[in-house]
Amino acid sequence: MKRKVFSFGILIILLLILIGVNINMGSVAIPFLDIKDIIFNKDSSSVYANIMWQIRMPRIVASLVLGAGLSLSGYMLQTFFHNPIAGPFVLGISSGAKLLVAALMVFSLNFGFYISSVDMIITAFLGSLIVTLIVLLVSSKVKNMAVLIVCGVMVGYICSAVTELMISLADDSNIVNLHNWSLGSFSATKWSDVMIFTPVILISFLISLVLTKKMEAFSFGDEYATSLGMNVKMFKIILILVSSILSSTVTAFAGPISFVGIAVPHIMRELFKTDRPIIIVPASFLGGGVFCLLSDLVARCLLAPRELSISTVTAIFGAPVVIMMLLNKKKR
Amino acid sequence: MHTLSCSDLAIGYEKNILIEDICLSIEEGEIAVLVGPNGSGKTTIIKTLSGILAPINGKIYLDQREFSEIPLSERAKKISVMLTEKKEYDYTSVFDVIAVGRYPYTNVMGKLGENDISVIENVIKEVGIEDIKDKSFNKLSDGQRQKVLLARALVQEPSVLVLDEPTSFLDVGSKLEFMKIIRKLAKTKNISVLMSLHELDLAYAIADTVISVTKDHKIEKKGTPQDVLTGEYIAKLFELNGGSYSLSGGFSFNEDEKACINVESEQCNEKGFEMKNKTHFIMVQGTMSNAGKSLVVAGLCRIFKEDGYRVSPFKSQNMALNSYITEDGLEMGRAQVMQAEAAGIKPDVHMNPILLKPTDDVGSQVIVNGEVRGNMRAREYFEYKKTLIPDIMNAVSYLSKDNDIIVIEGAGSPAEINLKENDIVNMGMAKMVDAPVILVGDIDRGGVFAQLLGTLELLEEDERKRVKGLVVNKFRGDKSLLDSGIDMLSERGKVPVVGVIPYMDVKLEDEDSLTERFNKKSKGLIDIAVIRLPHISNFTDFDVFEELREVSLRYVSSAKELEDADLIMIPGSKNTISDMKWLRENGFEGVLKKLSGNQKSIFGICGGYQMLGLDIEDKDSVEAGGFIKGLGLLDIHTVMKKEKERKQVTGTIPCLGGPLEALSNLPYEGYEIHMGVSSKKTADGEAISGEKLTDIENTSSKEFRSEEVVVQKDSVYGTYIHGIFDRKEVVKAIIDTLAEKKKVDINTEEYQDYRAFKESQYTKLSKIMREHLDMDAIYEMMDLRK
């Protein structure tokens, strides 16, 4: 119990520090004293205040909330497949969402109609659902988890290739944006976007909290869960739907972001030393936010003023975690 | 009240019916065990009855309510299931794993209330895992894991507990511990238990009901373990083909039995097999082979009989080439036949459920309940024998129905420490029936004190306690010289010496083929030589000659020794083709041909008869396989058949020519036991159809055979009938003929009938033993006051 309180404490402290640093750092540094002024003295007219409220804060909230959603989505997929390396990116679900969203964007640019954030979410959701169904079909045919993962990666590649193809063919000035988006980025997040994805992700988080008891029972096997009186079929449908909503929302707003879904739940298991969903669900949610906040900071500042894609950074942090996990698994 | 039941249930996966017409009911506190080969559908039954798998047809009832009418969460409070599973539990503690079982009781967030925690704590105590409850599940041993998973099933507070092969990966100790917990739960908490088990010995010990599922997905038998788990049925259910089978896992039943008896002795006995309280056991074990156990058992049988008890001999396993065939056509060891005669009852195959007939140095033919199970290597049998425990217990249980006392004979020495595991003949046997043990040492071969004390020393503590008396056997000379040694013996061994039996000169059949009589080379007036085939079998055919003062019976191993014999016998063989080869390689062929030319009488019995023929063919590899030319002294042709011919026969010997003409028309009684069919055939190979020379009354089938009982050509005779010499007329005719030919004078008139003779020997035996054994002490051991 002590360990859990302590670990949550660490996460929250990290979160606060990272928010501070994120506001502070950038092509224009906002001194901490000014930050204090802006927050407490309601000094909203200065350049600093503008940068902070209009540019940095939405981006911080985006990395925080979207990162949390992504990590949670990964954890749910891992529960679903009884496999710790499952995640929306690995299974190609993010790429599926990306493909449909890119198609929609290209389509709208060519035909000149406006797409709303909600449209984006729905399109991304459809994309991820299609890929999810493909993956489920494969998983019902082959029981081997390695094959499933390889299939997911392949589907992801196909989706990415088609996306690239469409971007190359799309002949428009917005192409740079589109390209940036397809690599994944929290930049250019607006408050209006935040107002849409935050409720979606928070509601999904609440649903997943309610599902923790079932997740735990389910983690001991489908049949065991059935014997405990659980409606396993229904549970699996809800699980995959919520997970898809989470990952597609993230993809719609920030593009596909790799490894967060796998790495963060694993780091949380190691940090909290438990497998219990009742702990790991909130921990992954919080941890995903912290992880993306840090990654975004690195992405923005490492080669400032140039900006790295968020996936580049999450991959550099996340991939070694996954490799370590595989090595550990081999050892046992 | 039926807690869980179903009728006309059809189950399977995705509408494909695997098993149909399942009708089961498990009552409160009942332990039902599913047994059957892999893939028979045990797990499917388990999953369906625990609600994991929906039935395709039919209904399942839980406390008289149909499954589908019970809400899932409510059902989970009544049935819990323990499956084999493979989750990675990196950081899950034992407590957390168990807590998941409270699922049906906790709120939507799974928060454990006070009640939940107290239930969990209680179950943890009950299963005995308090010490590991905070450990990580990953770090547990398999035995601990299974207990934790059991605890997880129990915190559901079920009235029905369903387990799928819960003990498959456990070692002996853990298996036993696990079963003890299950048994306690069923009996103290009235939980109904349905489980599948691979370990038949465990099933036998724990089940109230055994349900067998066959390879082709049928529920074949339901009943008590004693009824279902017979050796024959197990062999059928698992399609054991003799030597190809060996039980995996190296599970030892004896240890199990021991622990079981120690911990829950009444239940074990009550469960294990039906045994009437009034049957008393006594077991005779020896310090070595040939210590004289068989005779002591025979003597005890006779004494108890004389004292008015109904008594039966018993020996779980005999290793001997010498077999007897009962009226039911079943094969058993001769030693128990002799002891049964002493007890004054008919021999019954239950007196010796397991008979091993060595075929070569490392292999034996395994005969269980009188039926051949196949040839097995020693190692194979070592593994196999533990599956025979139910047969042994069935046999004991059968005998105990009609007997007040069962005298059990051990085999070899109980202190063969390398073979102690899975012992079913000595201390293992004694434990199975809780018999007191008398340990017999052989003073004739020297070192009797070391034998007795050394054996005691090598026994486990609980085994040593079983030994209630020591006996010094085969003593010759002045007993007073022995007295001081005897005192020290009881003092050092802390076991009283209950008797010093003198060397008994009783002529009764011997058990082992390695007896002293093989070394007897001296010649009498009439000299009968029996060729000592390497795989000699049923040599008691010739015992009758041993009782004749002027006749010497020799077992010879080299052809030279045949020269002076008046009659040459070729006995039966367990491996006719190999022994035929041996005859040829050791120069017997030429000598026999030469002697037959000299009108020397040669008599072949069974295998020996076959060898005297033209050829022996073993197309189906019944023995070693192949084809071999015989000695060519009789015009018969033999084909080995898979089915063993065996029956008791009586009749008259047909008209014969040659030196033993006098045998013609004499009555005989004996038995046939062989795996070949011989037909008459001329030397050029043309078969003559069997001529009806004599009518034989076949006691088992009352049929008439058109085959010659004794075949003769010149001075060579052959027959399939063992025991043909047992009647005094036959013996007299042979000896008279031989005596006349040799011109010696033998008075054969005084020869007793062999049976009457044996009877007198048994009386003599009991008289000597009564004199030298403290029978009061022995009765006391058995809780019997005279």
Chain A contact probe: residue of B4, B46, B100 with most A CBs at under 10 A: B100
With contacts defined as CB-CB under 8 Å, which chain A residues touch B73?
229
CA angle B771, B517, B567 (to 5 degrees): 130
Nearest CA in chain B to A227: B52
Contact at 8 Å (CB) between A236 and A117? no
Contact at 8 Å (CB) between B658 and B714? yes
Query: Can you give the pLDDT at residue B460?
Result: 86
Q: Locate B429 and state its tokens.
A: 């046997």
Chain A contact probe: residue of B50, B80, B91, B139 with most A CBs at under 10 A: B91
Task: Give the integer Cα–Cα distance in Å for A274 and B231.
Answer: 50
Alpha-carbon gap: B107 to the closest alpha carbon of chain A (Å): 9
The residue type at B583: L
Question: What single DSSP character describes residue B2?
Answer: E
Residue B115 CB burial class (10 angstroms; 0-12, 13-18, ≥19): exposed
The answer on B372 and B330 residing in a single domain is yes
Task: Give the integer Cα–Cα distance in Å for B716 and B634.
Answer: 7
C-alpha distances in Å from residue B362, one per residue of B382, B449, B451: 12, 32, 27
Percentage of chain B exceeding pLDDT 70: 83
Q: Which residues of B536-565 are buried (b: 16+ CB within 10 A; e: fewer)?
A: bbbbbbbbbbbbbeebbbbbbeebebbeeb
Contact at 8 Å (CB) between B107 and B94? no
Q: Locate A3 and state its tokens.
A: 């360990």
Task: Give the integer Cα–Cα distance in Å for B149 and B479.
Answer: 65
Chain B contact probe: residue of A216, A222, A275, A281 with most B CBs at under 10 A: A275
Sign, Cα dihedral of B259, B262, B267, B273: positive
Residue B119 CB burial class (10 angstroms; 0-12, 13-18, ≥19): buried
Contact at 8 Å (CB) between B324 and B287? no
CB contact under 8 A, A227 and B72: no
Q: What ipTM, to 2 d.p.?
A: 0.83
With contacts defined as CB-CB under 8 Å, which chain A residues touch B75?
229
Domain assignment present for residue B766? The answer is no
With contacts defined as CB-CB under 8 Å, which chain A residues touch B79?
227
Chain B contact probe: residue of A227, A231, A238 with most B CBs at under 10 A: A227
Per-residue confidence band for B241, with pLDDT thresholds at 50, 70 and 90 = low
The residue type at B570: I
- B108 touches A at CB < 8 Å: yes
Task: Give the integer Cα–Cα distance in Å for A22 and A70.
Answer: 20
Percentage of chain B exceeding pLDDT 90: 9
Q: What is the pTM of this model?
A: 0.55
B251 vs B280: which has the higher pLDDT = B280
Question: What's the domain range around B220?
Answer: 2-229
Nearest CA in chain A to B74: A229
Domain assignment present for residue B709? The answer is yes
Alpha-carbon gap: A200 to the closest alpha carbon of chain B (Å): 21
Sign, Cα dihedral of B18, B19, B25, B30: negative
The distance of Cα B576 from the centroid of its chain, to the nearest Å, equals 25
What residues of B are annotated to the active site?
A: 606, 722
One-character DSSP codes across B129-185: -GGGTTSBGGGS-HHHHHHHHHHHHHTT--SEEEEESTTTT--HHHHHHHHHHHHHH
For residue B109, give the nearest of A212, A275, A329 by CB distance. A212
CB contact under 8 A, B85 and A220: yes
Q: Shortest CA distance to B80 belongs to which of A229, A8, A186, A293?
A: A229
Domain assignment present for residue B258? The answer is no
The answer on B633 and B548 residing in a single domain is yes
Task: Give the integer Cα–Cα distance in Å for B54 and B15.
Answer: 10
- Residue B568 pairs in a beta bridge with B529, B602
Name the packing angle between helices A117-141 and A145-169 (round to 10°).
140
CB contact under 8 A, B110 and A213: yes
Nearest CA in chain B to A226: B52
CB contact under 8 A, A223 and B88: no
The answer on B530 and B494 residing in a single domain is no
Reported as type and span, the H/E element at residue B4 is strand B2-13
Instruction: Work out the average pLDDT over B375-402.
Output: 83
Task: Give the integer Cα–Cα distance in Å for B724 and B282.
Answer: 35
Q: Who contacts B109 (Cβ-Cβ below 8 Å, separation ≥6)?
A: A209, A210, A212, A213, A278
CB contact under 8 A, B92 and A275: yes
CB contact under 8 A, A229 and B75: yes
CB contact under 8 A, B96 and A274: yes
Q: Give the gyration radius of chain B's Cα atoms.
A: 31
Residue B478 CB burial class (10 angstroms; 0-12, 13-18, ≥19): exposed
C-alpha distances in Å from residue A257, one per residue of A155, A253, A327, B389: 16, 11, 24, 65
How crowded is residue A327: how many other Cβ atoms within 10 Å of its Cβ? 9
Per-residue confidence band for B252, with pLDDT thresholds at 50, 70 and 90 = very low
Residue A57 CB burial class (10 angstroms; 0-12, 13-18, ≥19): middle
For residue B90, give the nearest of A210, A221, A269 by CB distance. A269
B706 pLDDT more than 60: no
Q: Locate A326 and state its tokens.
A: 């595989």
How many domains does chain B contain in total? 3
For residue B50, give the nearest of A216, A227, A231 by CB distance. A227
How crowded is residue A221: how many other Cβ atoms within 10 Å of its Cβ? 18
CATH class of A2-331: mainly alpha
Distance, first Cα to last Cα, chain B:
47
CB pairs under 8 A between A and B: 78
Can you give the CATH number for the domain in which B185 is found? 3.40.50.300
pLDDT in tens, B77-124: 889 998 876 666 677 888 888 988 898 888 888 888 888 899 999 999
- B163 touches A at CB < 8 Å: no
CB contact under 8 A, A223 and B89: no
The answer on B411 and B367 residing in a single domain is yes
For residue B103, give the nearest of A228, A278, A329 by CB distance. A228
Can you tell me which residue has the tokens 């498959």?
B168
Contact at 8 Å (CB) between A166 and A103? yes
Contact at 8 Å (CB) between B636 and B679? yes
Question: What single DSSP character describes residue B681?
Answer: B
For residue B110, give the nearest of A82, A212, A220 by CB distance. A212
Contact at 8 Å (CB) between B367 and B322? no
CB contact under 8 A, B51 and A226: yes
Alpha-carbon gap: A108 to the closest alpha carbon of chain B (Å): 44
CB contact under 8 A, A228 and B104: yes
Instruction: Work out the average pLDDT over B583-592.
Output: 87
With contacts defined as CB-CB under 8 Å, which chain A residues touch B83?
221, 223-224, 227
Alpha-carbon gap: A223 to the closest alpha carbon of chain B (Å): 6
CB contact under 8 A, A231 and B72: yes
Q: Who contacts A288 (Cβ-Cβ below 8 Å, separation ≥6)?
A: A67, A68, A69, A70, A71, A72, A260, A264
Task: Give the integer Cα–Cα distance in Å for A26 and A194.
Answer: 21
Per-residue confidence band for B694, with pLDDT thresholds at 50, 70 and 90 = very low
With contacts defined as CB-CB under 8 Å, which chain B residues touch A232?
none
With contacts defined as CB-CB under 8 Å, which chain A residues touch B100?
216-217, 220, 228
CA angle B696, B697, B698 (to 5 degrees): 105
Contact at 8 Å (CB) between B92 and B136? yes
Query: Can you give the pLDDT at residue B624?
Result: 62
Can you tell me which residue has the tokens 């008279």?
B736
Most confident of A13-22, B136-145, B729-738: A13-22
The answer on B610 and B502 residing in a single domain is no
Can you give the CATH number for the domain in which B715 is found? 3.40.50.880
Contact at 8 Å (CB) between A185 and A309? yes
- B83 touches A at CB < 8 Å: yes
Helices (H), chain A: 2-24, 32-40, 47-50, 57-81, 93-111, 117-141, 145-169, 175-183, 191-210, 212-218, 222-227, 232-254, 260-272, 277-301, 310-331
With contacts defined as CB-CB under 8 Å, which chain B residues touch A278?
109-110
Task: Give the integer Cα–Cα distance in Å for B190 and B24.
Answer: 18
The answer on B504 and B563 residing in a single domain is no
pLDDT tens digit at each of 332 positions of chain A: 788 889 899 999 999 999 888 888 877 777 877 777 777 776 667 777 777 778 888 889 999 999 999 999 999 999 988 888 888 888 888 888 888 888 888 777 777 777 777 787 888 888 888 888 888 888 778 777 778 888 888 888 898 898 888 877 766 656 666 666 666 677 777 888 888 889 999 999 999 999 999 999 998 888 889 888 888 889 998 998 899 889 888 888 888 888 888 899 999 988 888 888 999 999 999 999 999 999 988 988 887 777 788 888 888 888 888 888 778 765 54
For residue A229, give the nearest of B73, B89, B108 by CB distance. B73
Q: How many CA atoms lie within 13 A of A232 on its CB side?
A: 19
pLDDT in tens, B301-322: 999 988 888 899 999 998 876 6
One-character DSSP codes across B526-572: EEEEEE--TTEE-GGGGHHHHT-TTEEEEEE-SGGGGTT-SEEEE-E
How crowded is residue A177: how many other Cβ atoms within 10 Å of its Cβ? 15
Helices (H), B208-247: 225-228, 231-237
B216 pLDDT more than 80: yes
Query: Can you give the pLDDT at residue B733?
Result: 85
With contacts defined as CB-CB under 8 Å, which chain B residues touch A283?
none
- B683 touches A at CB < 8 Å: no
The answer on B401 and B275 residing in a single domain is yes
CB contact under 8 A, B87 and A82: yes
pLDDT in tens, B591-647: 898 888 888 889 998 888 889 988 888 877 666 667 888 888 888 888 887 767 677
Extract long-range pairs of A319-324: CB within 8 Å, 24+ residues apart: A319/A259, A319/A263, A321/A259, A321/A262, A321/A263, A321/A266, A321/A267, A322/A85, A322/A259, A322/A262, A322/A263, A322/A266
Query: Can you give the pLDDT at residue B321?
Result: 65
Query: Can you give the pLDDT at residue A306?
Result: 77
B776 pLDDT more than 80: yes
Query: Can you give the pLDDT at residue B353?
Result: 92
Question: What length is written for chain A?
Answer: 332
Alpha-carbon gap: B88 to the closest alpha carbon of chain A (Å): 9
Alpha-carbon gap: B73 to the closest alpha carbon of chain A (Å): 5
With contacts defined as CB-CB under 8 Å, which chain B residues touch A210?
108-109
With contacts defined as CB-CB under 8 Å, which chain B residues touch A211?
none
Nearest CA in chain A to B44: A223
Reported as type and span, the H/E element at residue B439 is strand B437-442
- B157 touches A at CB < 8 Å: no
B276 pLDDT more than 60: no
CB contact under 8 A, A219 and B108: no
Can you tell me which residue has the tokens 């051991």?
B781
The distance of Cα A203 from the centroid of its chain, to the nearest Å, equals 15
Task: Give the integer Cα–Cα distance in Å for B199 and B168.
Answer: 8
CB contact under 8 A, A224 and B83: yes
A198-202, B455-459, B743-747: which has the minimum mean pLDDT? B743-747
The answer on B537 and B489 residing in a single domain is no
The residue type at B646: R
